[in-house]
Amino acid sequence: MGKYVIKRLCMALVTIFFVTCLTFLLMNAVPGSPWLSEKTPSEATLAALNAKYGLDQPVPVQLLKYLQNLLHGDFGVSLKMQKNRDVLSIILEMFPVSAKVGAIALCWAVLVGVPLGCLAAFKRGRLTDSFLRVVCTLGISMPSFVVASILLVVFAGGIQALKIFPTLFDPSQGWKTYVLPCFALGFYPMCYTARQTRSAMLDSLNQEYIKTARAKGLKNGRIIFKHALRNALIPVITYLGPQVAFTLCGGFVVESVFSIPGLGRYFVQSIQNRDYPVIMGTTIFLASFIILMNMAVDILYKIADPRINLTKGGE
């Protein structure tokens, strides 16, 4: 296990190295520059700006310098969006905001989605199952900005009597401010999880060992939660791994609608602004996080199903 983790970590470092180089080159290949605006500064000012931030060097030299700084933990400073501010401190400030909303959203998605999936599987073909199917299909097919907009209109001022939650994201207002964005962000994963659980559950309920369990005379609840669920969880975990990374790093759409100062929105804006160090910093951060999450999932497999062998390709 330990050896496996070390191997994965080394591979992760190599991946991050390639992600860094590729992003750096691609980003410089896109037309535009951070200094452009409706009023373009004079040539002399442009030259001074490029010199100040090292953009006057050839791209390979810039890349080498960037990598060198990166090894010292220096992500550079923002060129435009928060001029001269350290990129790492921007990320460390925004990530927790995204992560908190994302974590709450995922928690409720899993805590509600998995039991609902079990319920639907257990009541297969009955009214409850049909009802849950309609809800889940809706949730999967509806883009999150639609969910967010509906919530905003209904619960945040559109209908005065129902104005329960604040329109703007403001952590000082406590739990109330998290309700709508977390619901909007978690609705899709909840529905998806429920569906996944349902089909995986049905699959495992038909397995021989469940029949054995029934033959032994075990109670239904025990069969479902102790025997069937454990197997049914594998596809759910597979789905949740990358989803954790994406959700925690911020859903761009939901962050825009609720004006949440999170990393997801900032990442997209940094590309539009050609704020090179911010693009690099957020990309590296997100890539590392996704890689780590995938690794965590592989390890979780092992816990869910001890037969899975991580080291030797499952011999």
Residues found near other proteins in the complex (CB under 8 A): 9-10, 13-14, 17, 30-33, 36-45, 47-49, 51-52, 70-74, 77, 80-86, 88-90, 92-94, 152, 156-157, 163, 166-170, 256-259, 261, 266, 272-274
Report in angstroms how near the CB of residue 72 gets to other proteins at its nearest.
Answer: 5
Q: Which is nearer to other proteins, 10 or 61 (CB)?
A: 10
Q: Cα–Cα distance between 127 and 34 in angstroms, integer?
A: 57
The length of the chain, given as a count of residues: 315
Q: Which is nearer to other proteins, 238 or 256 (CB)?
A: 256
Q: Cα–Cα distance between 107 and 182 in angstroms, integer?
A: 10
Q: Cα–Cα distance between 185 and 253 in angstroms, integer?
A: 9
Q: Which is nearer to other proteins, 92 or 107 (CB)?
A: 92
Q: Which is nearer to other proteins, 33 or 238 (CB)?
A: 33
Distance of CA 202 to the CA centre of its chain: 28
Q: Which is nearer to other proteins, 45 or 311 (CB)?
A: 45
Report in angstroms how near the CB of residue 292 gets to other proteins at its nearest.
Answer: 12
CA distances from 192 to 3, 71, 133, 143, 266 (A): 34, 40, 11, 13, 27
Report in angstroms how near the CB of residue 106 gets to other proteins at its nearest.
Answer: 22
Report in angstroms how near the CB of residue 2 gets to other proteins at its nearest.
Answer: 14
Report in angstroms how near the CB of residue 220 gets to other proteins at its nearest.
Answer: 48
Report in angstroms how near the CB of residue 273 gets to other proteins at its nearest.
Answer: 7
Report in angstroms how near the CB of residue 42 gets to other proteins at its nearest.
Answer: 5
- DSSP of the chain, one letter per residue? -HHHHHHHHHHHHHHHHHHHHHHHHHHHHSS--TT--SSPPPHHHHHHHHHHTTTTS-HHHHHHHHHHHHHTT---B-SSTTTT-BHHHHHHHHHHHHHHHHHHHHHHHHHHHHHHHHHHHHTTTSHHHHHHHHHHHHHHHS-HHHHHHHHHHHHSSSSGGG--S-SS--GGGTTHHHHHHHHHHHHHHHHHHHHHHHHHHHHHHTSHHHHHHHHHT--HHHIIIIIIHHHHHHHHHHHHHHHHHHHHT--HHHHHHTT---HHHHHHHHHHHT-HHHHHHHHHHHHHHHHHHHHHHHHHHHHH-TT--TTTTT-
Q: Which is nearer to other proteins, 76 or 139 (CB)?
A: 76
Q: Which is nearer to other proteins, 46 or 112 (CB)?
A: 46
Report in angstroms how near the CB of residue 286 gets to other proteins at its nearest.
Answer: 17
Report in angstroms how near the CB of residue 162 gets to other proteins at its nearest.
Answer: 12
Q: Which is nearer to other proteins, 25 or 92 (CB)?
A: 92
Q: Which is nearer to other proteins, 237 or 292 (CB)?
A: 292
